[in-house]
Structure formats: C-alpha cells, structure tokens
Amino acid sequence: MGAWGTESCSNDDTWDCLEGNIHNMTQKNADDSIANVWSQEFKGAPNVVRWNIANNENIKLGVVIHILNQGLKVPPHIILEVYQIARCRLDIKVIKKEGWRDPEARWNTLFLEMRQLRTAYNADGQCIEKHVKGLLEKMDDMLT
C-alpha cells in the first residue's frame, strides 16, 4: 500500500478501488465504489491483493472515509462495519505493525476518522463537512 498521508484514504489501493471522478464523485460513483469493494471484485484495481484480509479492511475504511469527505451518503450498516475496523486498529502497536511512517500521527488521524464515522452514522449516513473560511474569504466579506 503506497500511503502518502496518515488518512485512511491516502493510499494507492483505496484510490484504485474508487469509481468515477475521484475528486468530484457523484452518489452513483460512491454506491458503485462500495459495491465494488464489498463484493471484493476490485474491478478497477487488478493489482490489489485480494487474499489479504487486513488490506481489504484498510481499503474498506479508506473508501468510506473518502466518500464521506466528498459529502456523499454511505449506508449506515457499512459505516458501522468500518467503524469496527477502525476501532480494532486504534492501537499504537497495531499501527506500528502495519508499518505507518508516523504511528502517533496515524493514531490521531484514525481517532478523528472514528469521530467522523460516528457523526455520519448518527446523520443517516452522511457527514457534511462545514466549510471554514480562509483569510482571503474573510477579507472579501469585510470589504463587501
């Protein structure tokens, strides 16, 4: 798994399993991605190791986090499943064993992702991220 960040969705295997425009997904893309990963067909990702259960669980977690970050819905039973996956991994020994470059940063990120999953579960499968205005937007508001 070529990871470039501490987020569950920041790795090659997860991105290979996402359907459609990764940066601007539709609900259909999200539904197709979930169906693809949960059926373990990995249609768009022939290089994904299918027999590695731990890798498949990481992919499930990453796909759901990415979809929620896009502001799209995920079935609550899927959120509950990946929450359990995340909960099992929220252990610094497990994180180190998985080979993360910065285990403490990964632990913190995973903790925040679990909070995001709880929020989405309680909101019927959707986690709307609030846009935080940047400095230029705030200055523009002051001038208008």
- How many other C-beta atoms lie within 10 A of the C-beta of residue 111? 12
List, for residues 54-90, the tens digit of each pLDDT value: 568 888 999 999 999 999 999 999 999 999 999 999 9
Structural domain range at position 31: 12-143
Spatial separation of the C-alpha atoms in residues 22 and 29, rounded to whole Å: 9
If 0-12 CB within 10 Å is exposed, 13-18 middle and 19+ buried, where does residue 39 land?
Answer: exposed
Round to whole Å and give the CA distance between 90 and 140: 41
User: Tens digits of per-residue pLDDT, 86-111?
Assistant: 999 999 999 999 888 999 999 999 99
Residue in this structure with the two tokens 């996956």, named with its chain if needed: 85
Tell whether 49 is covered by a domain: yes
Q: Is residue 61 within 8 Å of 82, Cβ to Cβ?
A: yes
7 occurs within a structural domain: no
Residue 131 above 50 pLDDT?
A: no
In total, how many domains does the chain have? 1
Per the CB < 8 A criterion, the answer to whether 65 and 79 are in contact is no
Residue 15 pLDDT > 70: yes
- Residue 100 resides in a domain: yes
C-alpha dihedral, 83 to 84 to 86 to 92, nearest 10°: 150
Is 4 contained in some domain?
Answer: no
The first and second tokens of residue 65, run together, are: 């986090």
